[in-house]
Copies of this chain bind each other. A is one copy, B any other.
Amino acid sequence: MAETNLQILLRRRPQGAPVPEDFEIVETPVPEPQPGEVLVRAQYLSLDPYMRGRMSDAKSYSAPVALGAVMAGQTAGTVIASKAPGFAPGDTVLGGSGWQRFSCVQPGSLFKIAPDDAPLSASLGVLGMPGLTAWVGLEDIGRPKSGETMVVSAASGAVGQVVGQIGRIRGCKVIGIAGGEAKCRFVTEVLGFDACIDHRGDVAAELDRLCPEGIDVYWENVGGAVQRAVFPRLRDFARMVMCGMIAEYNDTTPAPGPNLMSAVRKRLRIQGFIVSDTGWPRYPQFRQEMLGWMQAGRMTWREDVVEGLRNAPTAFIGLLKGENFGKLVVKID
């Protein structure tokens, strides 16, 4: 039986929250690799909040996905055929192949990984872009020091779970913020954070109780009401690592933010970053440190695995509503 490719295209730009009709699922022939290319069969696709930005044509740090083009995304898979030096059928690779089963890619955009280091899907999460995001943001901006207090929003998510565990390894008191009792229990009991606040409750009061001396490092994944509760509780010299504001991604009009006078008064550092700016050249160093933590039992993670590429649009729509529990990946086939 001849295999076919399955692709998910961006049909139109969402207005507010994406809906299934913004996507189009098509079957196409499996492409032939040209000289210098590698044919990859993806086994896992990573779904991440940043993809909402790529669906929009608002000015941003990377070009939008064109209408009618395959949605962009990281995959983990296997080389099927290679017309490029250094890659052979059977190699396990990470790359940005997008929301599709087969793709022909330039080898410069692929990382060859040892398949036995960790489960393959982990290379899209704790060992992949989200883990690297956590590591880079803390290295460059958060700079947690032993004895400090760290607050992590979206604490059970792909990035948040790694951020908080690194915070614990660095000797911080780490408070997570997550949606619902089950996620909060996971954050404390499995990830080992010191405490976790349900964002559906009174976040400000809980922060006052858990961080009576204030917050030294705030990892911002969500924005909105959580940001409004955290910001006034930052301590002198606090760092606010601006990784994302998922609660506002579907907003068509941005809400006002905090008055910045406290940035002077408290000498705050509020800084955004995008992992792709400086992260990938440091991937080998990151992967080595992360594998060390995993093998030492100091780093755990949770995945939310969706079966079947056809379910990617619905899963992504749910991700923006916080319906996933752990790093969201799609198992292809």
Contact = CB atoms under 8 A, between A and B. Distances in A.
Contacts of A267: 61, 271-274, 277
A234 to B, nearest CB: 11
A244 B223 contact: no
A242 interface: yes
Nearest to A244: B264
A245 B254 CA distance: 23
B269 A274 contact: no
Query: Chain A contact residues (Cβ within 8 angstroms of B): what range?
Result: 20 to 34
A94 to B, nearest CB: 24
Given A61-B236, A236-B61, A263 B255 contact: no
Contacts of A264: 220, 242-245, 272-274
A261 interface: yes
A273 B244 CA distance: 24
Contacts of A243: 264
Nearest to A141: B269
B261 A266 contact: no
Contact of A257 (B61, B244, B260, B277): B260
A268 interface: yes
Interface of A: 53, 60-61, 220, 223, 227, 236, 242-245, 248, 254-274, 277
16 contacts: A220-B260, A242-B260, A243-B264, A244-B264, A245-B260, A245-B264, A254-B261, A256-B257, A257-B258, A264-B272, A267-B271, A267-B273, A267-B274, A268-B270, A269-B270, A271-B271
